[in-house]
Copies of this chain bind each other. A is one copy, B any other.
C-alpha cells in the first residue's frame, strides 16, 4: 500500500486532547443547565432522508446540504432516455439529418438532393462533425442538479431544528407535551470555509414545543444567564425583541407588506447609522413622512420599561404591535421574579434575525468583553412541524454558538486550569522492580477515584517528567531504590517544582 500524506477535508477539524477538555467543559456546562431547567436530551441520525431536508432552507441552503451517494450499483437505476437520432437531430439540426426510417426510396432521394460535389463535401464535413462529436453529460440532459436525486437519497444533517421537527412528528404519540428537548450534535454545511466558519460544527439547541406560555421565553433568558455565568463570562447582553412589534411598526406606517425591507434596514443601524438606515428606507420606497414617524422608534432609548412605554405610544393604533408589547412585558415580569446573575437584558427593536421564521420573541446574545458576533440566538416560531403535516404546534428555542464561546473563553482565559478530565498524578520509576513496587499504590489511588498513571518501566526519568509536563499532570511520584527501602516516596508538585518525601497514605490524602 502506497503511503499517502494524510489530511482532513477542508473546513473540518481534529480536536486534540487539550481542545476536547475545553469543549467538554463548555458542552457539559450548557447541558447541565438545560437539564436543570427540565430539558431532555435527544439525538437524531447524522443522515436524514433527502426529502426531509430539501426545500427547508431555501435554494441556497439546499445547495449547501451534503448529499450521500447511494451504495452499490447506484447508476444501474439511472436511465438515460435518449436515442442517437434524437441527439443528432438536436445537436446538428435537421439539414441533412439522417432519416429515422430509411427505405430504398428516401435513401436515394436523399442522395439525389446532393447535386454538386460542393454539396457532397459539405455533407461529408457535416457527417464528420457528427461522428467526431465528443459526448458529454449535457448531451443527455444530465447535470449535477438532476442527477443528484437519482444517485443520492440521504443527506447530512444541516441544522438541528428540521430533524427535531421531523422527530416530533414521528414520535408525537410517545411525546408528553410541552416537550422540552435539547440536542448537542454536529451539523454539516458545504459552505466555503473561512476563519471561524467550518463545514462541520456543533450546534447546541434547546426548544420547547406545544406550550404558548411566555414562561418559556423567560426561562430561556435565565438559561443563557446561568450557563454563560457558569462559563465565566462577566459582561454580556441578552437582546430581546418581538416579531409582533416589528409587524406593528410596519402597520402603523401603513407598510405591513414591506416589513422585511423595514427590518432589514433597521437591523443595520449599528453598522450604517441612522442616516444610512434612512437612505436605505427611501430607496426602498418609504416616504419621508413615514420615516419621520419611525425615527423615535428606531432611536428608542432608556430602560426597558421606558422603551416599552414609548413603544406603546407609538403603536397605539396597532393591535398586533400592542400584543407584542404585552408579551415583552410579561417576559420582563417573570425575570423580575427571578433576577439574572450576570446578563443585561435589553429590549432591542433593531433585532430581526431570521424574521421569516420567528412569529413572537426574538433573542440574541452578545458578549461585551470581546469583539465577536452573537454567541447565541433564537425565538418563537408558531408552526415548527407544519412542514411535516402536524399543524399548530408552537415552538420556542435557543441556540448556543459553541465555537464562538470557545474563542471568547480562550481570549479571556476563562478555562479552568485543572479539570477532572486529566490525569492527576504520574508515578515514575526507574526499572521493572520499581514498576512492581508501584502497582499496588497505583491500584489504591485509582480505587480512591484519583486519575493516576504509571509510566511503563524503562524510560529515562527526564522523558517521564516531560510526559507529565506535556500532559499537564500536576503531581508526580518518584520511586527509586531509596524510596522502595524507606517507603517514603518522592512526591513532586509539578507547578511549584517543590518535592517532599511522603508515604503512600500521606500522598493519597493530598490527592483526594
Partner of A14, one of B42, B140, B454: B42
- Are B166 and A6 in contact, with the CB atoms below 8 A? yes
Q: Which of A26-62 contact B (CB under 8 A)?
A: 35-38, 40-49, 51-52, 55
Closest to A469 in B: B176
> Does any Cβ of B come within 8 Å of A481's Cβ?
no
A75 located at the interface, meaning its Cβ lies under 8 Å from any Cβ of chain B in the complex: yes
Partner of A156, one of B68, B211, B458: B68
Contact A188 B66 (CB under 8 A): no
A170→B24 contact, CB < 8 A: no
Contact A338 B442 (CB under 8 A): yes
Question: CB-CB < 8 A to A194: which residues of B?
Answer: none
A45 contacts B181, C-beta separation under 8 Å: no
| Count of A interface residues, CB-CB < 8 Å | 143
Find out whether the CB atom of A456 lies under 8 angstroms from the CB atom of B216: yes
Most buried by B among A167, A226, A449: A167
What is the 8 Å Cβ interface bit string for chain A, positions 131-175, against chain B (1 contact, 0 not)? 111111100101110011001111010000000001101110010
Given contacts A140-B135, A176-B467, contact A36 B451 (CB under 8 A): yes
Contact with B along A1-31 (1 / 0, CB 8 A): 1011111110011111100110010000000
A484 interfacial by beta-carbon distance below 8 Å: no
Q: Say yes or no: is A389 at the interface (Cβ < 8 Å to chain B).
A: yes
A74 and B167 in contact, given A4-B51, A35-B422 (Cβ under 8 angstroms): no
Would B104 and A144 count as touching, CB distance under 8 A?
A: no
Closest CB of chain B to A197's CB: distance in Å? 15
* Stretch in A77-85, A296-304, A315-323 touching the partner: A77-85
Verify A137–B75 contact, CB threshold 8 A: yes
Q: Is the CB of B43 within 8 A of A46?
A: no
**Any chain B CB within 8 A of the CB of A408?**
no
A67 within 8 A of B: yes
User: Is A285 an interface position by the 8 A CB rule?
Assistant: no
With A124-B102, A130-B84 known as contacts, the answer to whether A388 contacts B174 (CB < 8 A) is no
A445: min CB distance to chain B, Å: 9
Give Cα A44 to B20, complex, Å. Answer: 11
Kindly list chain B residues whose C-beta atoms are within 8 Å of the C-beta of A128. Answer: 100-102
The reply to whether B439 and A84 contact each other, CB–CB distance below 8 Å, is: no
Whether a CB of chain B sits under 8 angstroms from the CB of A346 is no
Give the CA-CA distance A38 to B476 in the complex, in Å: 13
| Closest CB in chain B relative to A154 CB, distance in Å | 5
Q: How far is the CA of A294 from the CA of B390 in the complex (A)?
A: 67
Instruction: Give 30 CB contacts A-B under 8 Å.
Output: A1-B387, A8-B170, A9-B154, A13-B45, A14-B42, A14-B43, A35-B420, A36-B446, A46-B46, A66-B68, A67-B71, A69-B69, A69-B148, A73-B144, A75-B137, A75-B143, A80-B135, A82-B134, A82-B135, A84-B130, A84-B133, A88-B131, A98-B131, A102-B127, A103-B121, A176-B470, A213-B456, A213-B458, A337-B439, A337-B440
Answer whether residue A107 sits at the interface, using C-beta atoms and an 8 A cutoff.
Answer: yes
Which residues of chain B come closer than 8 Å to A52, judged between CB atoms? Answer: 4, 6
CB distance from A105 to the nearest CB of B (A): 10
Report which of B13, B75, B420 forms a contact with A144, defined as CB distance below 8 A.
B75
Residues in B neighbouring A420, C-beta threshold 8 A:
35
Per-residue interface assignment for chain A, residues 373 to 395, with 1 indicating a CB less than 8 Å from any chain B CB and 0 otherwise: 00000000000001111000000
A10 CB to closest chain B CB, in angstroms? Answer: 10
The B-contacting residues of A in range 160-205, CB under 8 angstroms, are 166-167, 169-171, 174, 176, 178, 180-181, 186, 188, 190, 199-200
Contact of A45 among B9, B64, B131 (CB under 8 A): B9
Q: Counting chain B CB atoms within 10 Å of each CB, which of A36, A190, A446 scores highest?
A: A36
In the bound complex, do residue B69 and residue A66 qualify as a contact, i.e. CB atoms below 8 Å apart? yes
Residues of B within 8 A of A211 (CB): 456
Q: Once the chains bind, are B80 and A136 in contact (CB under 8 Å)?
A: yes
Known: A24-B41, A78-B137, A211-B456. 15 other contacts (CB 8 A): A5-B389, A7-B49, A8-B49, A12-B47, A14-B43, A38-B451, A68-B69, A80-B137, A82-B134, A84-B135, A98-B131, A100-B132, A103-B121, A111-B111, A216-B456
